[in-house]
Amino acid sequence: MDFLRPATWEDALAMKAARPDATPIQGGTDVMVEINLDKGRPTALLDLNPVAELSRWSWTAGPAPMLRVGAGVTYTRLIAELGGWLPGLAQASRTVGSPQIRNRGTLVGNLGAASPAGDGHPPLLASGALVEAESVRGTRLIPIGEFYMGVKRNALEGDELIRAVHVPPAAGPQCFAKVGTRNAMVIAVCSFAVALDLRARRAGTGIGSAAPTPRRAHAAEEFLAGELDWDGAGPVDPALARRFGELVAEAAAPIDDVRGRADYRRHALAVMARRALGWAWAEREV
């Protein structure tokens, strides 16, 4: 196994172009686990940790600026520095591993790994994030909904690396919920994120650990946009919340595995979706 260690982003892109077989490693919380579990040995590792510019975040230009979160920004920093703009993502980040893992792990590293159970994916889907993929050929922005291609497979070309992820700042309350078989250090049995956009009067959703890829619940989103009383005071109509939950559960395609049964996952998703909507809506009143 070759170990490639670029010092700059330019070097990293050049190396990736020369070695499309290389597996990028950022924090290592996915890649090293796979290696330690003997789930295949990469022919080469491309260590992006030394690339200093990746650990920065900034605002994008334009009429609707987004947060451009560099590939090296750790969960700990994301929570501390960006939590005010990205509350759903910060909430999900707090459930990742332990403090040590959050000090090391990065949102974008886990994004590249594209595990269906990754905690960061549902809020990225709910927010409508864009993945900034770059290669020596140039840069493109991939809508997050088109990024996940299959279990641990993403839409990157062989020579591309993720430079950053662009996330719109919250335009309303956001909420993340997760069921696990213990209270910390746990891979989700299933998870759910909702992001309300109060100006545009629509909701984004993200489902985790309940399909081959993280995915949105489109029908549930359309239902909320059309049926939620966006001007209404007081709590969400229970019947509406229940229907929303059902639509979220219908969007999932879970399996039975060691962590839980498919029917339990569907049920728990409906509960989490209903609750997350209620919590987010209640936050609007504060």
Partner 1 sequence: MTVWREAVGTPAARVEGPAKVTGRAGYTYDRPVTDPAYAFPVQATIARGRVASIDSAAAAGVEGVLAVVTHRDAARLADTGDAELAVLQSDEVGFRGQFVGVVVAETPQAARYAAGLVRVEYEQRPHDTELRADRPGLYAPEQVNGGFVSDTDEGDVDAAMEAAAVTVDRAYTTPMEFNSPMEPHVSVAVWDPGERAPGGGFAEGARLTLFDSTQGPHVVRSTLAQVFGLPPERVRVISPYVGGGFGSKGMPHAHNVLAALAAWAVPGRPVKLALTRQQMFALAGHRTPTIQRVRLGAGADGRLTAVAHEVVEHTSAIKEFAEQTAVGARMMYAAPNRRTSHRLAALDVPVPSWMRAPGEAPGFFALEVAMDELAQACGLDPIELRARNDPEVDPESGRPWSGRHLVRCLREGAARFGWAERTAPGTRLVGRELVGLGVAASTYPYYRLPGSRAVVEYEGGGRYTVRIGAADIGTGAWTALTQIAADALGCRLRAVRVEIGDSDLPAATVAGGSSGTTSWGSAVVAACRAFRHVYGEQPPAGAEAGADMPDDPDAERFAMHSFGAQFAEVRVDADTGEVRVPRMLGVFSVGRVVNPRTARSQFIGGMTMGLSMALHERGVLDHRTGHVINHDLAEYHIATHADVVDVDAVWLDEEDVHAGPLGARGIGEIGIVGAAAAIANAVHNATGVRVRDLPITPDVLLR
d(CA 162, CA 54): 10
Contact code string over 147-186 relative to partner 1, x by CB under 8 A: --------------------------------x-xxxxxx
- Of the two residues 261 and 284, which places its CB atom closer to partner 1 in the complex? 261
Applying the rule CB under 8 A, the residues between 214 and 273 that interact with partner 1 are 258, 260-261, 263-264, 267-268, 271-272
**What element of type H or E holds 130?**
strand 130-135
- Shortest spacing between CB 115 and partner 1, in angstroms: 12
Cα–Cα distance for residue pair 253/195, rounded to 1 Å: 22
Q: Which is nearer to partner 1, 171 or 262 (CB)?
A: 262
Write down the least CB distance from residue 174 to partner 1, Å: 20
Helix and strand numbers (H, E) in the chain are 10, 13
Applying CB under 8 A, among 18, 33, 151, 200 the residue interacting with partner 1 is 33
**End-to-end CA distance of the chain, in Å?**
54
Nearer to partner 1, 64 or 183 (CB): 183
Q: Which residues bind partner 1 (CB under 8 A)?
A: 33, 36-37, 179, 181-187, 189, 258, 260-261, 263-264, 267-268, 271-272, 275
